[in-house]
Amino acid sequence: MTTLTQTTCCYCGVGCGMLVESDGERIVGVRGDPAHPANYGRLCSKGMTLPLSAQSLAGRVLMPELRNTRDAVRAPATWNDALEAVAARFADVIRRHGPHAVAFYVSGQLLTEDYYVFNKLAKGLVRTNNIDTNSRLCMSSAVSGYKMAFGADGPPTCYDDLEAARTVLFAGSNMAYAHPVLFRRLEVAKAADPSIRWIVVDPRRTDTAAMADLHLAIEPGTDVALFHGMLHHLIWEGRIDRAYIEAHTEGFDALKQVLRAYPPQLVADICGIEESALRQAADWFGESPAALSLYCMGLNQSSHGTEKNLALIHLHLATAQIGRAGAGPFSLTGQPNAMGGREVGGLATMLAAHREIDNATHRAEVERLWGVSGLSDQPGLPAVDMFDAVRDGRIKAIWIACTNPVHSMPDSERVREALAKAEFVVVQEAFHQTDTVPYADVLLPAASWGEKAGTVTNSERRISRVRAAVPAPGAARADWWIASEVARRLAPKLDASPAPFAFASIEAIFDEHRALTVGRDLDIGGLDYAVLESRGPQQWPFPAGAMHGRARRYENGVFATADGRARFHAFEYQPVAEPINARHPLRLITGRLRDQWHGMSRTGRVGALFEHAPEPAITMHPADAARRSLRAGEFVRLSSRRGERVLMLSVSDDVASGTVFVPMHWSGQFLGGGGVNETTLGAVDKYSKQPELKHAAVRVDPLTLPWRVAAVRRGDALQLHAAVQPLLAERRFASVRLEGDDRIVVTAADDQPDAAWLERLHGALALPRDESLLEYRDARRAMTKRVAWREMLIDGVLVAGSEADVAASASLLARVRDTTPWTRARHAVFVADSGPAIPRDHIICQCKSITASRIHTAIGAGADVPRLKAALGCGTVCGSCVPELQRMCSASGKPAAQSMATNAA
């Protein structure tokens, strides 16, 4: 019998409602919840494949693990021993060094209830504000931007504004990839009314940019100049709303003084765009009956991220594009519950329910509601400072939950040094193979999506229920349970009462959180589990007595500041933190792929999700590649002042000359040694403390790696991956990926052959050593080709040798994908392996497995997007590939975008 559970997707901040089918033990299917107001039944490629990621327990953390002495390996432990160990070690550090010697590093992927307990544990029991989260890397500039402009955090807008907007300005957001289901809503609106205008501000020609009416391909980091220039143009053309400015804002005159120095011509030069494009963007924005801006990491992840946010908000305030349908600055939330984390105050620089640490009244309110005393009035350390404090010994013990900082923080080597130095590291994880797990002294098994319950808040301030569809595997437990069990053991050791942590249920936690919000801007006094149950997901604020939440804020022009007026701030444009120079002449941009999620601990379990972008690649402009005599497919060395990474070169004019792009996802789980954050830097914004993950000065050099290894192996892909992964870091380049649902692919390259490593790889791939293995060897050339047979099928191929040897084996490697029996003599397989390499066809539509070549053929025969959908079925299920289909059609002749991008060399 299958049961259907109503829940919410665990990936992005769109917060799609889902109906999960389970057989009681396992999740067997998922579909979009037609009743959920975020997605009305839609899901994207990541959401659709969630059941596949949850199918196997291979790689799950199923038991607590404990390291007894510094150099010992971790051994399985009981929950009681693990919880006692964490409480005892934390108590010991606090006794010896005080409460600020411990820290908590948590995550915008925790549920509100989990987050709430961690925050209360740190601030109310340990009495340190050293609790920060990966939201520092993500939303903190949006938070400080909103607070400085409006007096409170949180977007004034809602999803219905997507349909109501007449001009949409995407700034530093690749929504087609990162918030796909909302992008579907925009596509539908624009198809119904082509007079809707899209402006995209992004240094790269993303799928989002390719669909725009106007793409401003600015130089990385120059957004403040651009927005200042646009406002300059609107002021001097008399297109601002003086009455609104007069009635509802402060600080305009001081800003206007600053803006004098930003005439469009000068700004266009700074940004590397045409002046006419800047003026066009400003006019479309200012004249529009409703202008909506959608912004994300291209603004936030900057050493001037707060000012980028503010400069954009200025445009809205000065033109009164706010507080009504279709108008307003809409910060897209990245993680599913980054907003919930902000609500419970789970960051080092805030208290519960948007309260301030340095406000004695606020501290007293929280103390009273929590039943504790002595909250610290010192702000805690934000993420980058926190890990630096671990590194220099100020913090001795750190507890990391639901995030993988060795992969996702800037300058990975610094984070590794910090964790190696710490006296005590707790990691609370669902999956074993992340880059942070090796540093754990205690590893705590967390229940994950589908197994845990609570609430999350999406980008439009809407709170949805998350429900468990199946029991948690092994000894895995919900995050809130783990935090409160440690708190109850820690309290007596700190002479405090365990009572504040005796939560009977998640509902009890939510009710406590709710009580803290009463009277605050995010008041949800009228919203409890019963309301969520009977009336579905609701937006905040939702005060007691309300019938529904509020869709839009500041509709009456009264803001959350003391005097009710919004604030303009006067500041100059500042360049990026790390300038390029002769030694590091290229600008590195990092960002997202369509089908992968962060460090890939979950999406990396689904073969189909590798198909769209299978290789760890760096994208470079053709002119820059030609100048360095580099060709697509070659290995190159990316390096910065901090570290280096070997990657495969991809060549495309989607990036401008002078910039390169690397996806943020590749981690030590799939790419030997780690990901792109080996090269990024920890320069932070002065207000938000958010690091500049979107820009570093780098160089890219050719690299000769004569020894090549390639393997394709059939079997339990997750088990094979786990066996192979530890070998990756030993090579200059080594990557592993899943392919289909039962194969893995390994690619490696190095300066010289390593026969011992090759034998270990042979073992890890579980290749046979008996007569079912056929080998062709040329010892003189250090070349080997090995074929594993399962009766008449080829079950695995391992090839090592020169680049030419491996290239010539492409068709042999491809035979592992073929399930037609081999009827000839076995050794003939090597003879047959002489044809030219079959180019791997790229899959565009993941739901229907439609390849690029089939789409090109159909377009060649005259198909447009509707006909592609009808003929091939691509783009008809989740729709994530539709922007790319659109783009492929346009590239063949029908222009979709009036491209005014001028940045490309």
Ligand X SMILES: Nc1nc2c(c(=O)[nH]1)N[C@H]1C(S)=C(S)[C@@H](COP(=O)(O)OP(=O)(O)OC[C@H]3O[C@@H](n4cnc5c(=O)[nH]c(N)nc54)[C@H](O)[C@@H]3O)O[C@H]1N2
Could you count the other beta carbons within 10 Å of the beta carbon of residue 771? 8
Q: Does 11 bind ligand SF4 (CB under 6 A)?
A: yes
Stretch (H or E) spanning 774: strand 773-778
How many residues form the binding site for ligand SF4 (CB under 6 A)? 13
Interface segment toward ligand X; rule CB under 6 A; list 386-394, 560-568, 597-605, 843-851? 597-605
Site string for ligand SF4, 23-42 (x = CB under 6 A): ----------------x---
Which of 336, 341, 339 lies closest to 352, judged by CA? 341
Residue 620 contacts by C-beta under 8 Å, 6 or more apart in sequence? 630, 649, 650, 651, 652, 655, 660, 700
Which of residues 64 and 180 has its CB atom nearest to ligand SF4 in the complex? 180
d(CA 401, CA 452): 15
15 binds, among ligand X, ligand SF4, Mo ion, none (CB under 5 to 8 A by kind): ligand SF4
Q: Does 442 bind ligand SF4 (CB under 6 A)?
A: no
Strands (DSSP E) contained in 277-349 are 291-295, 328-331
d(CA 765, CA 749): 17
Which of residues 134 and 319 has its CB atom nearest to ligand X in the complex? 134
Q: Which of 17, 328, 541, 599 binds ligand X (CB under 6 A)?
A: 599
Q: Does 305 bind ligand SF4 (CB under 6 A)?
A: no
Please check whether residue 123 is in contact with residue 296, taking contact to mean a CB–CB distance below 8 angstroms. Answer: no
Q: Which of 83, 152, 171, 698 binds ligand X (CB under 6 A)?
A: 171
Q: Does 386 bind ligand X (CB under 6 A)?
A: no
Which of residues 113 and 795 has its CB atom nearest to ligand X in the complex? 113
Residues 45-74 that bind ligand SF4 (CB under 6 A): 46-47
d(CA 614, CA 579): 32
d(CA 62, CA 398): 22
Q: Please state the closest distance from residue 180 (CB atom) to ligand SF4, in A.
A: 5
Residue tagged 């469009």 (tokens) = 264
181 binds, among ligand SF4, ligand X, Mo ion, none (CB under 5 to 8 A by kind): ligand SF4
Q: Does 138 bind Mo ion (CB under 5 A)?
A: yes
Q: Does 43 bind ligand SF4 (CB under 6 A)?
A: yes
Interface segment toward ligand X; rule CB under 6 A; list 309-317, 508-516, 587-595, 773-781? 587-595
Please check whether residue 172 is in contact with residue 148, taking contact to mean a CB–CB distance below 8 angstroms. Answer: no
Site string for Mo ion, 322-361 (x = CB under 5 A): ------------x---------------------------
Residues 167-196 that bind ligand SF4 (CB under 6 A): 180-181
Which of residues 320 and 845 has its CB atom nearest to ligand SF4 in the complex? 845
Interface segment toward ligand X; rule CB under 6 A; list 229-237, 444-452, 644-652, 806-814? 444-452
Residues 325-364 that bind ligand X (CB under 6 A): 334-335
| DSSP, res 779 | G
Q: Does 201 bind ligand X (CB under 6 A)?
A: yes
Using a 10 angstrom Cβ sphere, with 0-12 exposed, 13-18 middle and 19 or more buried, the burial of residue 160 is middle
Strands 733-739 and 743-750: antiparallel
Using a 10 angstrom Cβ sphere, with 0-12 exposed, 13-18 middle and 19 or more buried, the burial of residue 266 is middle
Residue tagged 């659109």 (tokens) = 886
d(CA 149, CA 121): 31
Residue tagged 């789970």 (tokens) = 346
Interface segment toward ligand X; rule CB under 6 A; list 146-154, 267-275, 423-431, 790-798? 423-431
Which of residues 178 and 897 has its CB atom nearest to ligand X in the complex? 178
Residue 623 contacts by C-beta under 8 Å, 6 or more apart in sequence? 657, 905
What are the beta bridge partners of residue 567? 250
Q: Please state the closest distance from residue 818 (CB atom) to ligand X, in A.
A: 31
Interface segment toward ligand X; rule CB under 6 A; list 198-206, 270-278, 382-390, 766-774? 198-206
Q: Does 16 bind ligand X (CB under 6 A)?
A: no
Interface segment toward ligand SF4; rule CB under 6 A; list 7-15, 147-155, 249-257, 474-482? 7-15
Q: Does 450 bind ligand SF4 (CB under 6 A)?
A: no
485 binds, among ligand X, ligand SF4, Mo ion, none (CB under 5 to 8 A by kind): none
Helix spans in 393-478 (H): 405-408, 412-421
What are the beta bridge partners of residue 591? 663
Q: Does 598 bind ligand X (CB under 6 A)?
A: yes
Please check whether residue 213 is in contact with residue 198, taking contact to mean a CB–CB distance below 8 angstroms. Answer: yes
For residue 22, which phi and psi values (nearest 5 degrees)?
Answer: -140, 155
How many residues form the binding site for ligand X (CB under 6 A)? 59
Which of residues 9 and 816 has its CB atom nearest to ligand SF4 in the complex? 9
9 binds, among ligand X, Mo ion, ligand SF4, none (CB under 5 to 8 A by kind): ligand SF4
DSSP-assigned states of every residue in 177-230: HHSHHHHHHHHHHHHH-TT-EEEEE-SS--HHHHT-SEEE-PPTT-HHHHHHHH
Could you count the other beta carbons within 10 Å of the beta carbon of residue 254? 13
Q: Does 434 bind ligand X (CB under 6 A)?
A: yes
Q: Does 448 bind ligand X (CB under 6 A)?
A: yes
Strands 17-22 and 3-8: antiparallel
Q: Does 14 bind ligand SF4 (CB under 6 A)?
A: yes
Interface segment toward ligand X; rule CB under 6 A; list 429-437, 795-803, 846-854, 859-867? 429-437
Which of residues 14 and 397 has its CB atom nearest to ligand X in the complex? 14
Our measurement of the distance from residue 255's CA atom to the centroid of its chain's CA atoms, rounded to an integer in Å, reads 34
Query: In terms of residues, how long is the chain?
Result: 905
What 3-state class would DSSP assign to 87? Answer: helix
Residue 21 contacts by C-beta under 8 Å, 6 or more apart in sequence? 2, 3, 4, 27, 28, 29, 30, 31, 469
Q: Does 526 bind ligand SF4 (CB under 6 A)?
A: no
Q: Please state the closest distance from residue 334 (CB atom) to Mo ion, in A.
A: 3
Residues lying near Mo ion in the complex (CB under 5 A): 138, 334
Residues lying near ligand SF4 in the complex (CB under 6 A): 9, 11-12, 14-16, 39, 43-44, 46-47, 180-181
Residues lying near ligand X in the complex (CB under 6 A): 12, 46, 107, 109, 134, 137-138, 171-175, 177-178, 201-204, 206, 220-221, 223, 296-298, 301, 334-335, 401-404, 407-408, 428-431, 434, 446, 448, 452, 479, 589-592, 594, 596-599, 601, 664, 676-677, 680, 693-694
